[in-house]
Amino acid sequence: MPPGEQFDSWRETVSQTYVPLAATSLTGDVPFGGELVSQSLGSAHISEISGGSCEVARTAETIRRSDPGLLKLSLQLRGYCVLTQDGREAALTPGDFALYDTRRQYQLSFDNRFQSLIVMFPHELLPVRDNELRDFTARRVSGRQGIGGLVAPLLLNMSRQMRTDELSGNVELTGAVVNLLAAAFTEQLGCESRVPPETHRTALMLKIKAFIDARLEDPELSSSSIADAHHISPRYLQKLFEADGTTVTDWVRSRRLEHCRNDLTDPRLAGTSIGAIAARWGLVDSSYFSRLFKSAYGTAPRDYRANTPQPALAMN
């Protein structure tokens, strides 16, 4: 497409994909080079958008043209963005995200090339009373810590699945993101009581499971240490997992076995002993590991390794 037509085409595509928007290019004579990849997911919509320096605004006039009552969550992937809404500014750098409401005016300013991940969904999905939603908009949340550190990886996983065409059946992922989003904002604002208890339970479970996954190699990982790290009792921890139809011990064991099974067919680990593979995931007793593996997968680890084709190593 000729450089002079790139921005006009991008602006029209953006307004058709999201909601009507006003946009101004700030690139001068430099080609704008914008791109937009998107996919619907139930009542939600996920997209990756990129472009050059510009300003994008939801104005009173564009709201009058169409107001479907949607919220937008934006995760900054590249570049710098300033989001303005409801009297606040959120300065976003890569890894940060913020929420904004298309029913009211807002502005996004990008001072250079940028890339963002956008999740757009009906405002009714967010478990927050509508009159309190203004407190959540245009607030920067770091994707590197707290509950925000759980939201960002989920969003990036959604983006990866969208590009590999694996996203279409994963409607539950949107619900998980929205629940975590509500929990992240209430955590930041210190007003956890504003969202239903189930939202916090979902967020806590994802946080606990991420904690476990990061420590599977520790043979001393236990229900007590997991509960202590999250300031809850072992009994309450057990109740959380029982509500999902499992136990803490079973969850840890299944995650370890899953990693061991993957490693047994990894060509890069072909020279690593079965005992060493088990030990690297916290299962230091080889005989015990063999019994667990056979119980879970119906075959001994040695036979599984011998009879399962190994994927070829990628050639550079």
H/E run at residue 50:
strand 44-51
Rounded CA separation 86/70 (Å): 16
The pLDDT of residue 167 = 61
- Residue 124 scores a pLDDT above 60: yes
What pLDDT was estimated at residue 181? 78
Examine the pLDDT at 168 and tell me if it is beyond 80: no
**Side chain identity at residue 306, one-letter code:** A
Q: What structural domains does the chain harbor?
A: 3-195 (2.60.120.10), 215-316 (1.10.10.60)
On the question of pLDDT at 77 being above 90, the answer is: yes
Question: What are 241's two structure tokens?
Answer: 């997992």
Instruction: Judge whether 115 and 74 are in contact, CB under 8 Å.
Output: no
Alpha carbon distance 115, 41 (integer Å):
21
243-286 pLDDT per residue, tens: 989 999 999 999 999 999 999 999 999 999 999 999 999 999 99
* Better-scored residue on pLDDT, 148 or 268: 268
Task: Judge whether residue 316 has pLDDT over 50.
Answer: no
The pair phi, psi for residue 103, each rounded to 5°, is -80, -10
SS3 for 56? strand
Q: Is the pLDDT of residue 42 over 50?
A: yes
Backbone angles phi, psi at 39, to 5 degrees: -155, 140
pTM: 0.68
The pLDDT of residue 83 is above 70: yes
pLDDT averaged over every residue in the chain: 87
Nearby residues of 272 by Cβ (< 8 Å), 6 or more positions away: 263
Say what the pLDDT of residue 171 is.
54
Of 210, 211, 200, nearest to 240 by C-alpha is 200
Q: What's the Rg (C-alpha) of the chain?
A: 23
